[in-house]
Structure 1
């Protein structure tokens, strides 16, 4: 059996797929991955064959092209790159930014197709409004969520339908009317922990919630980082992953001052925001790439953007969290960690020293720490195993 894993997105889209890929490989399945060129080294580093797809995510975020241009380019990449990479595969698993052409490639090749997500924000539900998306505005004051989700589908169609159907016609495939529902299928997979994000009723979909796909990581922490960790009380980690934090250019200085205001040392992760030290005091340390599963067990709290992977990793480690949400699913994660009592959600994407210090004060309380340890014991770590077994059964049927 051979499976193609496909995504175009940030590291939060790549790492879970790698977790699934390694689980599949352990079960004797050949795996290859199509992903943005930003992640070639990371994918190759764990021995998964890599096929670069599309343009670099980091460069795209900086250049801010028109959404319709991005959509058309991605559809073309799906038919070209995925079309070639999947030719000898039995199945393709697609994630990331609206993989509009991947199902069509699978249909053309006669192989299995699975759409997987790491949050259910885009799946229509009466329990929440659609997330932000370019295109037709919502009518002022409209509260009927069925109406809002219908407009969400129209937005997707406006971006993707024409390029998708143009490429489908070239393969002799019939046109697609509703791109969003076509991409999702009636049974999308959700690689989301059910404690952190309980699945609620959806409109016309029957998702399979497997649990989060957690990338195994046994890398030791860098020696200089270990020295810093052992030189005093557990520090507060701050990092924003693939978020460039354009709306908060002084995020590092704000975070360090807020952490110091709580009498704590600071551990600053550079990430795509390129955070760094603000002075030469020995109560701060800057870290690059590191094993978060190990690191988060050794910190007092984790301040981050609220990506699904970072939220899950911190929860699994039993580390209290402060989420400073930026986009898409991140505001939900901020609300959820507060609801669970395992941390605090910051109000808005641009913290001040005062606002972040207040949130940290809540996260660093002993009752929050105890609750974070309690919840950590309920977080599933077998999501990738569940998904791998299910996919193998699908291919074997």
Structure 2
């Protein structure tokens, strides 16, 4: 079997499909990855063929949060350019494949390409919040000018509005591509993309699919790529030089430079050392004092086992890695699914949910102080063993097995 794993987005969107591709390969089948060009080296380093889709994303990482919502003209151009690029890249990458797996929520071309080729299509979400349910509100897209729900409108109404936004944004250009492929138009873009049986690549403890539910969701567990990279000598020396520090990182999303200063002030107010991930926002330390260290890309799976707490933006991957390590968390959500993960961390008692938006030194100090309390740290340690590590294995077996029910049991 030959499988195409494709996605659009930053590291949190790409890492899961790479994990699944690696497991498909380990089971003796062919896997290909179609993703933004930023991740070519990582994918090809695993011996997996790679096809780029869309522009390089890192160069836009700092600009988007400060730029505000897109204008209607910018949105229309972005949608049309994105779809054209997707159809070109996915069509080329899918040649000879038996199944196309779309990871995330913005790969709209994959199902049409699969239909035209007559092959199987699977859509996988990394968070329950992306899938319609009366138990939660839909995710928030700031670039579309949206604000988080204020609780005055019921979830079913919010999901109906969400479906209309999908149609208004993507319907006309998607159907133009389908018409050129000789396929009928779709009237419900979101349902077309998600299918009646979407997969949920999220851990059942951290992000359970609520019941009763309208969708027949297949929850595999999070798709985690094992990381065997050693920590750098500089980082090892810093960790060994004192008590466990606090980790601060916003990954591949943009962040204001003042954030770094506020993070260090919060750690120092509590007598803690700090590690700051530069990330795609290129966060810089406010000074060169020895109680803080700036780092680049790192093995989170190894590092998070040795820190006092993890302060982050609430991406699915970082939330899962911190939970697996038993590290208490402070989640500072910015957009999309991050609000969901912040709430789940709070509800599980394994960390604190900071208010959305840019934190101050005082607000960070308060949230971090709570996360470092012994009862919360103990709860984080207790929940860690329940977080599954075999989600990618289960998903790979589902793709290739004759009896998917047997493989998931």
Tell me whether the two structures share a fold, i.e. TM-score over 0.5: yes
Indicate yes or no: 2:345 matched with 1:337: yes
Match of 1:232 in 2: 242
Q: 1:137 to 1:356 in 2, by over 3 A?
A: closer
1:10 aligns with 2:7: no
Is the CA contact 2:140–2:147 (under 8 Å) kept in the aligned structure 1? no
More moved, 144-153 vs 217-226: 144-153
Aligned counterpart, 2:90: 82
Counterpart in 1 of 2:166?
A: 156
Residue 125 (structure 2) aligns with = 117
Indicate whether 1:282 and 2:293 are aligned: no
Provide the rounded CA distance (Å) in 1 between the counterparts of 2:158 and 2:402. 34
Which whole-Å CA distance do the structure 2 matches of 1:382 and 1:21 have between them? 14
What is the distance in 2 between the residues matched to 1:301 and 1:167?
47
CA contact (8 A) 2:352 2:367 kept: yes
Unaligned runs of 5+ in 2: none
- Asked whether 1:69 is paired with 2:77, we answer yes
Structure 2 equivalent of residue 219 of structure 1: 229
For the 8 Å contact 1:9–1:97, the answer to whether it is kept is no
Partner of 1:267: 275
Contact kept? 1:123, 1:202, Cα under 8 Å: no
What is the distance in 2 between the residues matched to 1:228 and 1:85?
44
Q: Deviations over 1:171-197 (max 9, x none)?
A: 111111111000000011011011111
Does the aligned pair in 2 maintain the 1:126–1:202 contact within 8 Å?
Answer: no
Residue 262 of structure 2 contacts residue 360 of structure 2 at CA under 8 Å; is this kept in 1? yes
Task: Give 1:308 deviation, angstroms.
Answer: 0.3
The answer for the alignment partner of 1:312 in structure 2 is 320
How far apart in 2 are the matches of 1:128 and 1:155? 18
- Residue by residue over 1:367-394, the C-alpha shift from the partner in whole angstroms, topping out at 9 and shown as x without a partner, is 1111111100111111011101101126
Q: Say which is worse superposed, 208-217 or 131-140, in terms of deviation.
A: 131-140
Question: Who is 2:22 aligned against?
Answer: 22
Gaps of at least 5 residues in structure 1 are: none
Partner of 2:139: 131
CA contact (8 A) 2:140 2:148 kept: no
* 2:198 corresponding residue in structure 1: 188
**Where do residues 345-360 of structure 1 align in structure 2 (5 Å cutoff)?**
345-360=353-368
For residue 322 of structure 2, give the secondary structure of its aligned residue in structure 1: helix
| Counterpart for residue 46 of structure 1 | 46
Q: Alpha-carbon deviations, 1:212-234, whole Å to 9, x = none?
A: 11111101111111011111111
What secondary structure, in the 3-state scheme, does the structure 2 residue paired with 1:377 have? helix
**Does the Cα contact within 8 Å between 1:91 and 1:395 map onto a contact in 2?**
no
Asked whether the 8 Å contact 1:135–1:158 carries over to 2, the reply is no
Q: How many residues align?
A: 395
Aligned partner of 1:374 in structure 2 is 382
Q: Alpha carbon RMSD of aligned pairs, Å?
A: 2.2
Give SS of 1:121's match: helix
Greater shift, 36-45 or 381-390, is seen at 36-45
Q: Distance in 2 between matches of 1:60 and 1:288?
A: 18
Name 1:389's counterpart in structure 2. 397
Deviations 1:224-283 (CA, angstroms, capped at 9, x unpaired): 1101111111110001001111xx330110000100111110111100121122111111
Q: 1:204 to 1:67 in 2, by over 3 A?
A: farther
CA deviation profile, 1:72-105 (whole Å, cap 9, x unmatched): 2222122211011101101111023422111010
**Equivalent pair of 2:224/2:392 in contact (CA under 8 Å):** yes
In structure 1, distance between residues paired with 2:232 and 2:273: 18
TM, length-normalised to structure 1 = 0.94
- For residues 115-148 of structure 1, what are the alpha-carbon distances to aligned partners after superposition, in whole Å with 9 as ceiling and x for unaligned? 0111122211111222234389999996243332
- Counterparts of 1:198-209 in structure 2, within 5 Å, are 198-201=208-211, 204-209=214-219
Partner Cα distance (2:86, 2:359) in 1: 38
